[in-house]
Amino acid sequence: MRVREILEKINHIAFFGDLNLMVDNITYDSRKTDSKTIFSAIKGFKKDGHAFITNAFDKGCKVVLCESIPIKIEGMSYIVVQNSRSAMADISYELNLSGVDIDLVGVTGTNGKTSITYLLKSIYEFNGLSAGVIGTMGALIGDKKISLDNTTPEAPDLHNILKAMATDGIRHCFMEVSSHSTELHRVKNLKFSLGIFTNLTEDHLIFHETMENYYQAKKKFFYQCQKSIINIDDPYGKRLYHELKQDEKNVVSYSAVAKADYFIEKIEIDRTGARYNLKTGLKKYYVNLKATGEFNVYNYTAAIAAGAEAGLNVDYCIKALESIKGVEGRFEFVDSTLDCTVILDFAHTPDGLEKVMETINQFATGRKVALFGAQGERDIARRALMGEVAGKFCDFVMITSDNPVYEDPMNICLEITKGIEKYHDNYMIMLDREEAINYLIENYQHDDIILLAGKSTEPYQMIEDRKVPYNEKQIAINAIRKKEKKLEGKK
């Protein structure tokens, strides 16, 4: 596409350069530019892309998308816009997604997004439909898994992934839509057949500043959806449902408390799973899950509702979910012959941790032990709140590192202890996470439930600006095998 054609499709303030240049891609990374790739100078959280225009030119770049021109380079063309991120999304869509046919279903909320996207993938594949996933655990394109830096990638990355899915014959994509992505134009121009709202609790307030801003960022997404599926048991979900209704949007509800289009009743939960009745319209369905916890009842119901609203048979949606154990890294029982239970979960907010601990409470017969940390350069207030949850529910707490970034991990841990100490002082700080896991498993007591929270399938620890490879599940397995071998040697 010629630059002239691009300018006809986007709002811009000015242009300086050659209108006849040919381009076929756009990137925000100066290291990935070439003679046919536009470099978009975006203002990031720590660095400003305008400082890398020269680097892009050195890579052969001939066209820059920018908000100002810090330096004029001979041979470089400049598209000046009010917002580089927004214009980048527009240009990328034209270059990569215009005419691409793929059905999008988006899931947003503080907790439950990853689980629901993977549950939907299971439902669709059970029904013989091809499906891809984009979210916290990366992008799944067939058997290929791509690591991602963000839950919802920047627009050019997202568009290229969707294009690759369509090229591979994948016709449906289930995507986690973060609040950052709506504010930073990452999902701009995309149309979703369905949007799902799970819940909203305190998170990302360093970015959004207030819960109202956080809510509005989530709400914005649903105006890109043909139909919305809302958890009205969540206070913000109830508000969202009514506001969308007032705006005459197509919206359905799910609930275990109030009258809803998908009504959950007679929930039974134990260690082996969850069972409940699901009423929709004039029909009632019995759901028997291998995954346990009330939070899973809500997640699975959202997935069933989405399948049904997409036109799939409800019985087949339920059969699909009854056939799986659950989602990897989400309340996952780690295989062991020890007389304790080790559970892996992504819970990294006070609400997420509380829901997991409430589930454990329903079947624990021994001590409840939790290992977790709090991320650096994120909401400081929630550290003590997570400590309070752990202090309330746990007999012993191991506090450790979780992506400290540039913060002192010890200071983060001490913030957490303020919450625990409201209930007891039975905790330990061990900054080396692997060492902490080994300690808990080496020193477990009979019937302990050991929760490893916060990291789950995340494949790294973020230390300063380095992503240090990390595999929590493998570390737990290694520690369990070591303990099993040790106990076997004593027989």
pLDDT tens per residue across span 213-250? 999 999 999 999 999 999 999 999 999 999 999 999 99
- pLDDT score for 437: 98
Summarize the confidence of residues 295-305 as an average pLDDT.
Answer: 97
- Considering the domain architecture, whether residues 228 and 368 belong to the same structural domain is answered as no
Q: Is residue 327 part of a domain?
A: no
Lowest mean pLDDT among 56-60, 96-100, 383-387: 96-100
Full residue range of the structural domain in which residue 24 is found: 3-95
| pLDDT, the chain, mean | 94
- Considering the domain architecture, whether residues 84 and 126 belong to the same structural domain is answered as no
Per-residue model confidence as pLDDT tens digits over 443-471: 999 999 999 999 999 999 999 989 999 99
- Considering the domain architecture, whether residues 59 and 149 belong to the same structural domain is answered as no
How far apart (Å, rounded) are the C-alpha atoms in residues 55 and 67?
A: 17
- Considering the domain architecture, whether residues 215 and 349 belong to the same structural domain is answered as no
Strand partners, 14: 80
Q: Which of 266, 301, 322 is the last residue in one of the domains? A: 322
Domain tally, the chain: 3
Tell me how long the chain is.
491
Residue 53, pLDDT > 80, answer yes
- Considering the domain architecture, whether residues 448 and 384 belong to the same structural domain is answered as yes
Strand partners, 463: 405, 466
Residue 209, pLDDT > 80, answer no
Please provide the DSSP assignment of 84-104 as one string.
HHHHHHHHHIIIIITT---EE
Summarize the confidence of residues 382-411 as an average pLDDT.
Answer: 96
- Considering the domain architecture, whether residues 85 and 113 belong to the same structural domain is answered as no
- pLDDT score for 205: 61
Summarize the confidence of residues 244-268 as an average pLDDT.
Answer: 97
Residue 204, pLDDT > 70, answer no
**Number of C-beta neighbours around residue 408 at 10 A:** 11
Contact 242, 251 (CB under 8 A): no
Please provide the DSSP assignment of 118-170 as one string.
HHHHHHHHHTT--EEEEETTEEEETTEEE--SSSS--HHHHHHHHHHHHHTT-
- Considering the domain architecture, whether residues 171 and 203 belong to the same structural domain is answered as yes
Q: Which of 78, 95, 112 is the last residue in one of the domains? A: 95
Distances (CA, A) of 446 to 39, 340, 393, 450: 59, 6, 18, 11
- pLDDT score for 491: 65
- pLDDT score for 162: 97
CATH number at residue 374: 3.90.190.20
Q: Which of 114, 33, 18, 27 is nearest to 74 (CA)?
A: 18
Contact 38, 25 (CB under 8 A): yes
What value, to the nearest 5°, has the Cα angle with vertex 472 and ends 334 and 118? 70
How far apart (Å, rounded) are the C-alpha atoms in residues 237 and 219?
A: 10
pLDDT tier at 376 (50, 70, 90 boundaries)? very high
Q: Is residue 34 part of a domain?
A: yes
pLDDT tier at 488 (50, 70, 90 boundaries)? confident
How far apart (Å, rounded) are the C-alpha atoms in residues 280 and 285?
A: 8
Residue 482, pLDDT > 80, answer yes
**What end-to-end distance do the CA atoms of the chain give, in Å?**
73
For residue 76, the one-letter residue type is: M
| More reliable by pLDDT, 327 or 46 | 327
